[in-house]
Structure 1
């Protein structure tokens, strides 16, 4: 049965998720630069989630929520999610934190393209203009001909943004019937099983501080994933995704505090274009969702 929508609550949950994920990506970048490999980061990001979820379910008496009749859907979400994780985590290590975060905001642009190509959604001038505006911002942030940034990192982040658009639709579909804990549990379990065979080839001995880093990744990942998934249970993708942009604030703060690096001027030129594009798309899709089916199709611009 479809759960009732709570738009304001969904926005607060997504805002919390943005802060927690901003912290997680700061830790991931720090760990990667300290010599912990991306496969290790991916494994611990998932494996350390499982005891956090189990503890929460045990304390709340909701262990029954992990039962599912949609195991294939969970497996598909995990495959796409782990592929995306490898791209985003590597891009985060290669790029400055604020730049990598900004490029991940290209996801709504790809969501419009996916909707037009595969869902046969009629995309009018408003959303096409937003897509062009957003990609102009991406070009500025990528700084072609300006201060060099890793072209590999830029490519990985943009591919990851494309997959995020797919993942948002997957989670939205799962959230119609599954609880937040159920979705996060199966994603973490499948992700751990996928990465475990690689650990003998990549894992090294950790110092106490490195153990702190990998465990922090898992805990923040579990909390952030629960908040994100819950936001999609209570609100539409187009509405809550706007709150993701607040993650740039935390990325900028962490970049300054941890790496003593303030973003380049190109970020302040490109980021507003990407954010404005995403906001236009979200606003327009929210308006279209409220239209009655019998209204003129011209309103689907």
Structure 2
């Protein structure tokens, strides 16, 4: 467990790494949407996202802990994580393609809300009234953004976006369990490596010839995806989640800016109001969990 009073320089480095990672992934989402606009199919985008991330992650491993860090006694768990991760990625990328960037990003912020519900249902964790209150507030924010029955955003896109948030929540619970025995970089590497084979089997059915611009988009998706993932992981090695979580919401500013710059989309008031509620709920849940973790640690020490 990270020290709650991590040195200031560690916290600053963690915040910087988290911001860097989020920025890389935000630009990656832009490239995914541009690739889709260029008629590149989703399975091919997913293949290059994973295939080009492998050498990036491997380079970090070689420069840091070494190949020995990739050894695992839980290969089956990594296989399950890869299946879950690919499913989550398909819905996430689908939401990026179907929704305006700001709305897709906002629905993605519902992950802590769904993770709280799933941890109570699946892991039988005790969730107090404070966090349940935050969950209800978060759902209110989701309803404001989605506006069921309205024409604010495409219904299919909203469904895919919410399914993506649920799948990512399930994946986060799986990663939390694996984190008890597996290093973060080990999990990242095996997810990327094990994902390449099944995606390569689909590639002949979806791959087309590309010009330089399209190869640039696909290369950017893979490289930035790998670098961004490493940045997020590295931040958590230096500081607790509660310390760096605020950086994640910078993604909404990036998505709003790029959505306006490239697609001339300006998020409406409902998106900003709903996003504020969802973000507030997610932050409260994270801070509450962090406080409870500290209290449990104190009880163990005492």
**TM-score, with structure 2 as normaliser:** 0.89
Q: Which residue of 2 aligns with 1:63?
A: 67
In the alignment, structure 1 residue 117 sits paired with structure 2 residue 114:
no
Distance in 2, Cα, partners of 1:163 & 1:126? 24
Q: Which residue of 1 aligns with 2:222?
A: 218
The alignment covers a number of residue pairs equal to: 294
Give the one of 104, 107, 111 matched to 1:103. 107
Name the CA shift for 1:67/1:55 in 2 (closer, same or farther; >3 Å).
same
Distance in 2, Cα, partners of 1:111 & 1:55? 32
Per-residue deviation at 1:60? 4.8
**1:139-178 alignment, distance < 5 Å:** 139-178=143-182
Name the CA shift for 1:88/1:292 in 2 (closer, same or farther; >3 Å).
closer
Per-residue deviation at 1:152? 1.2
Per-residue deviation at 1:219? 0.3
Distance in 2, Cα, partners of 1:57 & 1:105? 30
Distance in 1, Cα, partners of 2:80 & 2:239? 23
Partner of 1:291, secondary structure, is helix
- String of CA shifts for 1:108-130, please: whole Å, max 9, x gaps: 11111012212222222211111
Per-residue deviation at 1:96? 0.2
- String of CA shifts for 1:175-213, please: whole Å, max 9, x gaps: 444344322221111111121110111000011110000
Partner of 1:53, secondary structure, is helix
**1:70-81 alignment, distance < 5 Å:** 70-81=74-85
Confirm or deny: 8 A CA contact 2:2 2:239 kept in the other structure. no
**TM-score, with structure 1 as normaliser:** 0.89
Confirm or deny: 8 A CA contact 2:28 2:221 kept in the other structure. yes
Distance in 2, Cα, partners of 1:106 & 1:136? 11
CA RMSD of aligned residues (A): 2.3
Q: Which residue of 2 aligns with 1:44?
A: 48
Q: Which runs of 5+ in 2 are unaligned?
A: none
Q: Which runs of 5+ in 1 are unaligned?
A: 296-301
Name the CA shift for 1:285/1:3 in 2 (closer, same or farther; >3 Å).
closer
Q: Which residue of 2 aligns with 1:133?
A: 137
Give the one of 285, 289, 295 matched to 1:285. 289
In the alignment, structure 1 residue 274 sits paired with structure 2 residue 283:
no
Distance in 2, Cα, partners of 1:46 & 1:95? 23
